[in-house]
C-alpha cells in the first residue's frame, strides 16, 4: 500500500495516532473490526459503543473487594438505553456516574441487602486506567451507520471524539456537516462524551456536545500561561489528552448549566484551565502565602464567573478539608447574578437555598454556621461608627472570593472582613487590572496569580474587538477638569441618592451642562439615526449620568423614534419607489414597530416624588422592572426578543452578559474600572457580530487612553477608533 498523501486526512490521522501512542495510549485501526463471538473488541454489534471487556476488567481492578454481581449491576447501569432522554441529559447522567461512581444494591452472602458505590475511573492514578484510541470506528444508530475518525476510550467508555479534515477544507465543515450529523444519527456515542476536538491540521478547536460552533475554542498552551502559545493539533492533543491532564479536565473542568429549561454543557477553555489550576495551587500553598491567594485577572467576557465555579468545585473535590466559600460582590444585581450562576451550575443545591445574606445580621448568622457557599455584598460587613466588627469564625478552611476586588468598597470593609474571619484565605477575581494606587488590594489578596488580558481574549476569539466612535464633538465637555471631577465621584461608588445629590451639588455647572435639555435632545436624535444606520443590528445600551437623565433620554429617544417611523411610512406611501426601496422601507418599518425599549434603574425611597419634581414619571418604568414576566433581564438577553434598547445609569453595567449586545452609547463621564467594565458589555461573541461599538457623546476617549495605558503595560487592551 502507498503511504497517504502528506496533505490528506489519512496522513493527519496517522500523525495523530502516532502522537497518542507517544502519550502511552493503546491504539488500533478498527476498519476491519469483527463482531459477535470472538469479536475484535468484544462488541456484539456496531450499535454498541461501550467496549465491555475493557470496562469489566477496569472496574474489577478498581473494585477488588466487590462481588461479580455488583460489578455486573454497575455495567448494566452504565450501558442501559438512554434514548428517551435528550442528548445533554443522557450525557449529564453518565457524567455523574463517572465522577462519583455507580451506586448498586445487591444481596450479600448472608442474604442481606447491601449498597456499594462502584468506582468507574481512578481519577488520581492515571496508570490504573485503560486508555485506548480507536481509529475508523464503526457505529450504527437506529437507521444509519457511520464511521468515525478517532474515538478515545477510558476504561472502555468513549469519552473523547475527534473529527479530522484535510487541511484545505474549512474546519467549520467538521462541525456543520460531520458532528451535527453524528449527533443525530449515532447519538448513543455522545451519551458518554467528555469533549470534542475538531481539526484540519492547521486549525484545531475543542468544545462540548452542546456548544455552538462559535464557542468551540483553540487550546494554545500546555503547561503554563507563560508559554508563547501555539495553534496546532499537537498542542491541543498534548494539552487535553495526555492522561493526567485528560483526567483533570474531565473530572474538574466540566459542569452542566441548567437555565431556561435547557441543559448546556460547559467545558473549560484553555485560559480557565490554566488559571484555575494556578489558583488551586495557591490554596495548596496557603501556609506560605498566609491566605493571600492572589488576584485572578481575566478580562470581562472570558468566563470569569465560570472560573469561580471550577475553582471552588476543584478545591472541594481534590483538597482535604471542609471548605466554605464566601462569595462577595458590591452590587445587588451582581450578587444575584453570581448566585444564579452557582445555582444553575448545580454547585448550590436546593437544600442550600437560603445562603444569600439578606442583611448584616443574617450574614453574621450564616458565617457562624456550616455552609459550603455563602453569598453576600461587602456592604453587609458594616459596623456602627467607631464600632469593631466581631470575630465570627476562627476556621482556616474558609475562602473569601471577592468579585471585582479592587473597588474602593473593599478597602473600606476589608478590616471588618479580617476581624470577622481572621484565619480565612482571600482571592480576588477581576475583569479589569489593578490600577495605580490600588496597593491596598494587593495587601488583602496578594499579587496576580493568573492573567488573561483583553488582547489575548480577542486573539483567542473569546471576545470580539471593540471599536470607538466619537459623535457630535461640539456637545462634549471641553474642560478636562470638569469631566475628571464627575468621573471621580462616579468611580468612587455606585450612584445612589446621596451620590446623585453630591453630584448635583459639587459639580453643579458641569452637571447642568451635561443634562441641558437641548443637548439631550440632539443626542437622542443622533442615537435614533445611528441605531437605524448600524450594520449589525445588535442590542444597545444607552448610558446616562443618573436615573433622571436615563428616563429623560428614554422619553426623547421614543419621541424621535416615532417621528422617524412616521417619515418612513410617509415615504412608503409614495408611488415612485422601486420594488427594492419598498422592500427595504417595509423591513425598517417592521423592525421599528416591533422594537421595545426599557429603563433599568435601581429603586430608591420616595422616588415617585423625586421624579415628579423633575417633571418625570418613574411609575410605568418601575412597574415593568418589578412585575413584568418574563423579567426584563431575560428579555434583553434573549436575542430574538424585541426588547432591543435599554436605558441605564449604573445597573447592568458589570457582570451582565448579553452576547447579542453590540452597541454602547456613552453619555456619562467615567474612568478606570467603571469605564472598562461598561464598554466590555459589547465584547461578547455572538453569531454574525464582528465587533462591539462604543459611541461616545461625553469625551471619555482621554480617560479611555489613560486607562488603556495601564492595561497595555501588559499589552492587553485595544479599542480601535471607528474609521
Interval 41-66: pLDDT, tens: 999 999 999 999 999 999 999 999 99
Inform me whether the pLDDT recorded for 422 exceeds 60: yes
Is omega for the bond preceding 630 within 30 degrees of 0, making it cis?
Answer: yes
Q: What is the pLDDT of residue 497?
A: 58
End-to-end CA distance of the chain: 57
- Residues 440 and 476 occupy one common structural domain: no
Rounded to an integer, what distance in angstroms lies between the CA atom of residue 545 and that of residue 350?
40
Contacts for 268 with CB less than 8 Å, ≥ 6 apart: 249, 253, 254, 276, 306, 307, 310
pLDDT bin (cut points 50, 70, 90) of residue 504 is low
Inform me whether the pLDDT recorded for 718 exceeds 60: no
- Residues 213 and 319 occupy one common structural domain: no
Contacts for 436 with CB less than 8 Å, ≥ 6 apart: 710
Inform me whether the pLDDT recorded for 96 exceeds 50: yes
Inform me whether the pLDDT recorded for 656 exceeds 70: yes
β-bridge mates for residue 329, sequence order:
377
- Supply 436's cell numbers: 495605580
Inform me whether the pLDDT recorded for 68 exceeds 80: yes
Q: Are 134 and 151 in contact (CB under 8 A)?
A: yes
Inform me whether the pLDDT recorded for 124 exceeds 50: yes
Q: What is the pLDDT of residue 270?
A: 96
Q: What is the pLDDT of residue 412?
A: 73
644 in a structural domain: yes
459 in a structural domain: no
- Supply 109's cell numbers: 452472602
Neighbours of 130 (CB within 10 A): 18
Q: State phi, psi for 266 to the nearest 5 degrees.
A: -105, 125
Q: What is the pLDDT of residue 435?
A: 65
Last residue of some domain: 194, 222, 252?
252
- Supply 65's cell numbers: 473487594
| DSSP track, 359-388 | SHHHHHHHHHS--SEEEEEGGGS---TT--
User: What is the 3-class SS of 62-96, one letter each residue?
Assistant: HCCCCCHHHHHHHHHHHHCCCCCCCHHHHHHHHHH
β-bridge mates for residue 535, sequence order:
none
Taking residues 182-198, report their average pLDDT: 97
688 in a structural domain: yes
pLDDT bin (cut points 50, 70, 90) of residue 713 is very low
pLDDT digits (tens, 9 = 90+) for 587-622: 999 999 999 999 999 888 899 999 999 999 999 999
473 in a structural domain: yes
The residue with greater pLDDT, 437 or 234, is 234
- Residues 167 and 248 occupy one common structural domain: yes
Rounded to an integer, what distance in angstroms lies between the CA atom of residue 2 and that of residue 414?
70
661 in a structural domain: yes
Q: What is the pLDDT of residue 260?
A: 74
- Residues 277 and 242 occupy one common structural domain: no
Q: Are 636 and 643 in contact (CB under 8 A)?
A: yes
Last residue of some domain: 393, 423, 452?
452
181 in a structural domain: yes
Inform me whether the pLDDT recorded for 492 exceeds 80: no
Spell 75-97 as b/e; 16+ CB within 10 A means b.
Answer: bebbbeebeeeebbbbbbebbeb
Q: What is the pLDDT of residue 496?
A: 53
pLDDT digits (tens, 9 = 90+) for 341-353: 898 888 887 667 7
pLDDT bin (cut points 50, 70, 90) of residue 308 is very high
In order of 293, 392, 417, 669, the CA distances from 485 in angstroms are 35, 39, 31, 9
β-bridge mates for residue 160, sequence order:
152, 195
Burial of 431 (0-12, 13-18, 19+ CB in 10 A): buried
- Residues 713 and 630 occupy one common structural domain: yes
- Residues 215 and 362 occupy one common structural domain: no
The alpha carbon dihedral of 552, 557, 563, 565 has a sign of negative
- Residues 64 and 178 occupy one common structural domain: yes
Q: What is the pLDDT of residue 702?
A: 63
- Supply 200's cell numbers: 484540519
Q: What is the pLDDT of residue 714?
A: 44
- Residues 153 and 120 occupy one common structural domain: yes
The helix, strand and coil proportions of the chain, stated in percent and rounded to the nearest 5, come to 45, 20, 35
Q: What is the pLDDT of residue 472?
A: 64
What is the tally of structural domains in the chain?
3
Query: For 722, which DSSP code?
Result: P
Q: Which of 188-202, 401-415, 575-589 has the highest mean pLDDT?
A: 188-202
Choice among 85-94, 191-200, 277-286, 465-474 with the minimum mean pLDDT: 465-474
β-bridge mates for residue 375, sequence order:
327, 356
Q: Are 334 and 403 in contact (CB under 8 A)?
A: yes
- Residues 98 and 229 occupy one common structural domain: yes
Long-range contacts of 67-70 (CB under 8 A, 24+ apart): 67/106, 67/108, 69/106, 70/104, 70/106, 70/116, 70/118
Q: What is the pLDDT of residue 459?
A: 84
Inform me whether the pLDDT recorded for 483 exceeds 60: no
Inform me whether the pLDDT recorded for 575 exceeds 90: no
321 φψ region: left (φ > 0), alpha (ψ -120 to 50), beta (else): left
Q: Are 150 and 16 in contact (CB under 8 A)?
A: yes
pLDDT bin (cut points 50, 70, 90) of residue 226 is confident
pLDDT digits (tens, 9 = 90+) for 523-556: 999 999 999 998 888 999 999 988 999 999 999 9
Inform me whether the pLDDT recorded for 283 exceeds 90: yes
Taking residues 171-186, report their average pLDDT: 95
pLDDT bin (cut points 50, 70, 90) of residue 493 is very low
Inform me whether the pLDDT recorded for 484 exceeds 90: no
Query: Containing domain of residue 381, as a range?
Result: 268-452
Inform me whether the pLDDT recorded for 711 exceeds 80: no
Task: For the chain, give the mean pLDDT.
Answer: 88
569 in a structural domain: no
- Residues 246 and 277 occupy one common structural domain: no
Q: What is the pLDDT of residue 50?
A: 97
Nearest to 452 by CA among 306, 297, 220: 297
Q: Quote the pTM value.
A: 0.86
Rounded to an integer, what distance in angstroms lies between the CA atom of residue 263 and that of residue 260?
8
Inform me whether the pLDDT recorded for 712 exceeds 50: no
Last residue of some domain: 401, 417, 452?
452
If DSSP codes are grouped into helix, strand and coil, which group holds residue 483? helix
Taking residues 120-132, report their average pLDDT: 97
- Residues 672 and 704 occupy one common structural domain: yes
Nearest to 315 by CA among 397, 422, 223, 402: 397
Query: Would you give the distance in Å from CA 37 to the centre of its chain?
Result: 48
Q: State phi, psi for 162 to the nearest 5 degrees.
A: -125, 125
Rounded to an integer, what distance in angstroms lies between the CA atom of residue 259 and that of residue 266?
12
The residue with greater pLDDT, 382 or 558, is 558
The residue with greater pLDDT, 720 or 528, is 528
The CATH number for 364's domain is 3.40.50.300
Taking residues 686-711, report their average pLDDT: 77
- Residues 278 and 325 occupy one common structural domain: yes
- Supply 327's cell numbers: 462569595
User: What's the longest Cα–Cα distance across the chain?
Assistant: 95
- Supply 309's cell numbers: 465555579
Burial of 470 (0-12, 13-18, 19+ CB in 10 A): middle
Contacts for 393 with CB less than 8 Å, ≥ 6 apart: 367, 368, 420, 421, 424
Choice among 103-107, 364-368, 450-454 with the minimum mean pLDDT: 450-454
Q: Are 480 and 490 in contact (CB under 8 A)?
A: no
581 in a structural domain: no
Amino acid at each position: 500500500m502507498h503511504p497517504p498523501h502528506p496533505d490528506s486526512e489519512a496522513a493527519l490521522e496517522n500523525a495523530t495516532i502516532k502522537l497518542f501512542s507517544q502519550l502511552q495510549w493503546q491504539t488500533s485501526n478498527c476498519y476491519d473490526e469483527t463482531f459477535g463471538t470472538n469479536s475484535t473488541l468484544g462488541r456484539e454489534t456496531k450499535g454498541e459503543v461501550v467496549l465491555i471487556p475493557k470496562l469489566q476488567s477496569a472496574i474489577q481492578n478498581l473494585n477488588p473487594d466487590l462481588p461479580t454481581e455488583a460489578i455486573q449491576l454497575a455495567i448494566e447501569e452504565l450501558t442501559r438505553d438512554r434514548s428517551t432522554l435528550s442528548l445533554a441529559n443522557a450525557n449529564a447522567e453518565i457524567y455523574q456516574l463517572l465522577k462519583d461512581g455507580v451506586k448498586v444494591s445487591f444481596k450479600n452472602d448472608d442474604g442481606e441487602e447491601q449498597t456499594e458505590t462502584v468506582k468507574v475511573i481512578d481519577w488520581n492514578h492515571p496508570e490504573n486506567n485503560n486508555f485506548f484510541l480507536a481509529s475508523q470506528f464503526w457505529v450504527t444508530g437506529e437507521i444509519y451507520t457511520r464511521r468515525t475518525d478517532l474515538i478515545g476510550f477510558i476504561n472502555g467508555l468513549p469519552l473523547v471524539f475527534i473529527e479530522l479534515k484535510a487541511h484545505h477544507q474549512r474546519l467549520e465543515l467538521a462541525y456543520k456537516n460531520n458532528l451535527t450529523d453524528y449527533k443525530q444519527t449515532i447519538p448513543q456515542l455522545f451519551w458518554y462524551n467528555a469533549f470534542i476536538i475538531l481539526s484540519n491540521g492547521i486549525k484545531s478547536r475543542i468544545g462540548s456536545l452542546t456548544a455552538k460552533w462559535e464557542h468551540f475554542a483553540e487550546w494554545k498552551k500546555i503547561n503554563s500561561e507563560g508559554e508563547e502559545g501555539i495553534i496546532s493539533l499537537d498542542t491541543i492533543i498534548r494539552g487535553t489528552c495526555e492522561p493526567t491532564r485528560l483526567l483533570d479536565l474531565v473530572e474538574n473542568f466540566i459542569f452542566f448549566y441548567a437555565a431556561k429549561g435547557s441543559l448546556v454543557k460547559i467545558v473549560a477553555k484553555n485560559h480557565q484551565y490554566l488559571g484555575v489550576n494556578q489558583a488551586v495551587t495557591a490554596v495548596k500553598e496557603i501556609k506560605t502565602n498566609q491566605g493571600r491567594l492572589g488576584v485572578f485577572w481575566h478580562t470581562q467576557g472570558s468566563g470569569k464567573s465560570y472560573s469561580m465555579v471550577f475553582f471552588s468545585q476543584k478545591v472541594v473535590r481534590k483538597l482535604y478539608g471542609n471548605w466554605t466559600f464566601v462569595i462577595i460582590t458590591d452590587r445587588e444585581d451582581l450578587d444575584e447574578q453570581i448566585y444564579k450562576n452557582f445555582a444553575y451550575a448545580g454547585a448550590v443545591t436546593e437544600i442550600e437555598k437560603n445562603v444569600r445574606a439578606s442583611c448584616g445580621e443574617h450574614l453574621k448568622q450564616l458565617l457562624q454556621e456550616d455552609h459550603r457557599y455563602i453569598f453576600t455584598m461587602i456592604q453587609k460587613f458594616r459596623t456602627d461608627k467607631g464600632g469593631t466588627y466581631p470575630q465570627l469564625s476562627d476556621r482556616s478552611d474558609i475562602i473569601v472570593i471577592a468579585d471585582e476586588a479592587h473597588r474602593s468598597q473593599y478597602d473600606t470593609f476589608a478590616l471588618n472582613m479580617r476581624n470577622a474571619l481572621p484565619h480565612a484565605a482571600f482571592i480576588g477575581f477581576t475583569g479589569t487590572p489593578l490600577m495605580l494606587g490600588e496597593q491596598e488590594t494587593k495587601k488583602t489578596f496578594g499579587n496576580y496569580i493568573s492573567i488573561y488580558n483583553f488582547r489575548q481574549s480577542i486573539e483567542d476569539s473569546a471576545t470580539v474587538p471593540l471599536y470607538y466612535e466619537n459623535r457630535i464633538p461640539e456637545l462634549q465637555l471641553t474642560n478636562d477638569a470638569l469631566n475628571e471631577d464627575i468621573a471621580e465621584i462616579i468611580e468612587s461608588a455606585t450612584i445612589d441618592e446621596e451620590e446623585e445629590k453630591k453630584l448635583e451639588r459639587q459639580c453643579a455647572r458641569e452637571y447642568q451642562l451635561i443634562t441641558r435639555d437641548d443637548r439631550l435632545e440632539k443626542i437622542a436624535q443622533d442615537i435614533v439615526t445611528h441605531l437605524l444606520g448600524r450594520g449589525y443590528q445588535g442590542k444597545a445600551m444607552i448610558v446616562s449620568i443618573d436615573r433622571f437623565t436615563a428616563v429623560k433620554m428614554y422619553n426623547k429617544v421614543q419621541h424621535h423614534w416615532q417621528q422617524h417611523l412616521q417619515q418612513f411610512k410617509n415615504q412608503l406611501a409614495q408611488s415612485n419607489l422601486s420594488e427594492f426601496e419598498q422592500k427595504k422601507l417595509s423591513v425598517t418599518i417592521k423592525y421599528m414597530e416591533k422594537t421595545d425599549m426599557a429603563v433599568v434603574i435601581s429603586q430608591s425611597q420616595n422616588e415617585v416624588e423625586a421624579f415628579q419634581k423633575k417633571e418625570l414619571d418613574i411609575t410605568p418604568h418601575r412597574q415593568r422592572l418589578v412585575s413584568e414576566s418574563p423579567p426584563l433581564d431575560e428579555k434583553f438577553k434573549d436575542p430574538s426578543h424585541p426588547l432591543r434598547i435599554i436605558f441605564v445609569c449604573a445597573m447592568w453595567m458589570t457582570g451582565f452578559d448579553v452576547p447579542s449586545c453590540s452597541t454602547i452609547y456613552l453619555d456619562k463621564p467615567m474612568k478606570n474600572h467603571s469605564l472598562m467594565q461598561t464598554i466590555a458589555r459589547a465584547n461578547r461573541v455572538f453569531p454574525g457580530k464582528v465587533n462591539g461599538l462604543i459611541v461616545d457623546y461625553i469625551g471619555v476617549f482621554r480617560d479611555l487612553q489613560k486607562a488603556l495605558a495601564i492595561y497595555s503595560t501588559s499589552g492587553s487592551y485595544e479599542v480601535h477608533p471607528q474609521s
